[in-house]
Amino acid sequence: MDADIRQTDAKLAGFDPDRLSNAAKILDEGVKNDLYPGGVLWVGRKGVSALLHCTGHTDFSRQTAVDENTLYDLASLTKPVATASSILLLCQDGLIHLGMPVTDFFPERKLPHLSDVTLRHLLTHTSGLPPWKDFYSNGQTRDQVIEGLFAVSLDHAPGTRYAYSCLGYIMLSLVIEKVTGERIDSFAHKRIFAPLGMHSTMYNPAPSAGYTIAATDNCPLRGGLLVGEVHDGNAYALGGVSGNAGLFSTVKDLARFCHTITPRQSFHANSPFSPPVVQQMFANAIHERIGGQTIGWFIFPNDMLPAGDLVSKNAIGHSGFTGTAIIIDPDYQLCSVLLTNRVCRKDDGVLFRHLRRRVFNAVMGSIVC
């Protein structure tokens, strides 16, 4: 892929340019209606950047315009981009396998309630761990959060139900730390982001370093508007570095990542992922009677797939609570990245999810060949 995603050619990528422009207009509509202060949409297909559209500002003060270099808090996009990808690389290295019990990695702990939970269960949200638990409101330290995490009881037997769980991905980041001796931020940078040239993808970006960073929420507990500080409370309590959230990135870097893992495309000579590893990202890893989940990504029949109505049954994707999303459709060799900071508007996100669906419908509906 050309490093400059601003060089777009919708026709070459097999899109009707006029129809594709509707997706950009819908993103503009969200700014106009104050669903978010700004956003970025990128669409790529067959190795070509078809659309890059930046709109609005980094916060509602409307002082700094958004561009392709703006850093966004990815929230749960951290799960597939950093955490699941890192676990798969450990498999690729022969250091682990996904059937290993979680307890194997923490022999110093007595964890009988987790004895039947495997890495695969954690990766596919079938571990039985609850979706969430507040470890941060009382000002807990990283060590206290970890102790609390390992004490959480299962809601159901592993492998019997699908229940999206941030706690499982926090636990996966601790597994990475155990196996490698490095925190996930260091490992993912060394093995994924640096080889792919994703130089603006990081945990805990410092505004003083000159980055333009989209704000998220106004948090009384932390003294004001969050800029370059992870929105997710548990990730914040863990020092901003976690497996469920904490990653910041730009549309340029995520475009590179998406192109790299889209099947039938070879866009980066330094790809860290072998073809069998990429295959795991696109294959449903759980029984369809309980849902659709690959190693790291949503897939049909998962209602959480943020892809609209027109993608193929083999499309994968993921979203982030802050207003971010990725879809990759291997059947159409298409990938798309949507970055907003919709949490600047304090609401339930329903209007944003409706708009996001329309954006991806407009993207898919503009394919002509």
Bridge partners (DSSP) of residue 254 are: none
Query: Do 286 and 339 share a domain, yes or no?
Result: yes
Query: Do 345 and 213 share a domain, yes or no?
Result: yes
Specify the residue for token string 């295959």: 279
Q: Is 132 helix (H, G, I), strand (E, B) or coil?
A: coil
Q: How far apart are CA 320 and CA 304, in angstroms?
A: 11
Query: Do 110 and 211 share a domain, yes or no?
Result: no
Q: How far apart are CA 78 and CA 76, in angstroms?
A: 5
Q: Considering the chain, what percentage of its residues have pLDDT values greater than 90?
A: 89
Question: Which tokens go with 123?
Answer: 């990766």
Q: Is 85 among the domain residues? A: yes
Query: Do 99 and 152 share a domain, yes or no?
Result: yes
| pLDDT over 90 at 12, yes or no | yes
Q: What is the pLDDT of residue 6?
A: 65
Yes or no: say if 54 and 24 are a contact pair by the CB < 8 Å rule. Answer: no
pLDDT in tens, 152-200: 999 999 999 999 999 999 999 999 999 999 999 999 999 999 999 999 9
| pLDDT over 70 at 4, yes or no | no
Query: Do 87 and 175 share a domain, yes or no?
Result: yes
pLDDT in tens, 100-124: 999 999 999 999 999 999 999 999 9
DSSP at 246: -
Q: Is 9 among the domain residues? A: no
Query: Do 292 and 361 share a domain, yes or no?
Result: yes
Q: What is the pLDDT of residue 194?
A: 97
How much is the average pLDDT of 300-307? Answer: 96
Q: Is 264 among the domain residues? A: yes
Query: Do 70 and 205 share a domain, yes or no?
Result: yes
Domain tally, the chain: 2
Q: Is 94 among the domain residues? A: yes
Q: What is the pLDDT of residue 273?
A: 96
pLDDT in tens, 129-158: 999 999 998 888 999 999 999 999 999 999
Would you call 94 exposed, middle or buried from its count of C-beta atoms within 10 A (0-12, 13-18, 19+)? exposed
Domain assignment of residue 55, given as a range: 17-77+199-231+248-365
pLDDT in tens, 193-241: 999 999 999 999 987 788 999 999 888 888 889 999 999 999 999 999 9
Query: Do 73 and 85 share a domain, yes or no?
Result: no
How much is the average pLDDT of 320-339? Answer: 98
Query: Do 168 and 261 share a domain, yes or no?
Result: no
| pLDDT over 70 at 41, yes or no | yes
Query: Do 72 and 87 share a domain, yes or no?
Result: no
Query: Do 181 and 210 share a domain, yes or no?
Result: no
Q: What is the pLDDT of residue 2?
A: 44
Yes or no: say if 154 and 161 are a contact pair by the CB < 8 Å rule. Answer: no
| pLDDT over 90 at 266, yes or no | no
Q: Name the band, by pLDDT with cuts 50, 70 and 90, for residue 268.
A: low
Q: Is 123 among the domain residues? A: yes
| pLDDT over 50 at 1, yes or no | no
Q: What is the pLDDT of residue 351?
A: 98
The long-range contacts involving 322-325, CB below 8 angstroms and separated by at least 24 positions, are: 322/72, 322/73, 322/74, 322/75, 322/216, 322/231, 323/36, 323/39, 323/349, 323/352, 324/72, 324/73, 324/74, 324/75, 324/77, 325/77, 325/356, 325/360
Q: What is the pLDDT of residue 277?
A: 97
We report the CATH number of the domain holding residue 48 as 3.40.710.10
**Radius of gyration (Cα) for the chain, nearest Å?**
19
What's the whole-number average pLDDT of the chain? 95
The long-range contacts involving 264-267, CB below 8 angstroms and separated by at least 24 positions, are: 264/330, 264/333, 265/46, 265/47, 265/333, 267/1, 267/47
Query: Do 350 and 260 share a domain, yes or no?
Result: yes
Q: Is 2 among the domain residues? A: no
Read out DSSP for 170-182? HHHHHHHHHHHSS
pLDDT in tens, 51-76: 999 999 999 999 999 999 999 999 99
Q: Is 11 helix (H, G, I), strand (E, B) or coil?
A: coil
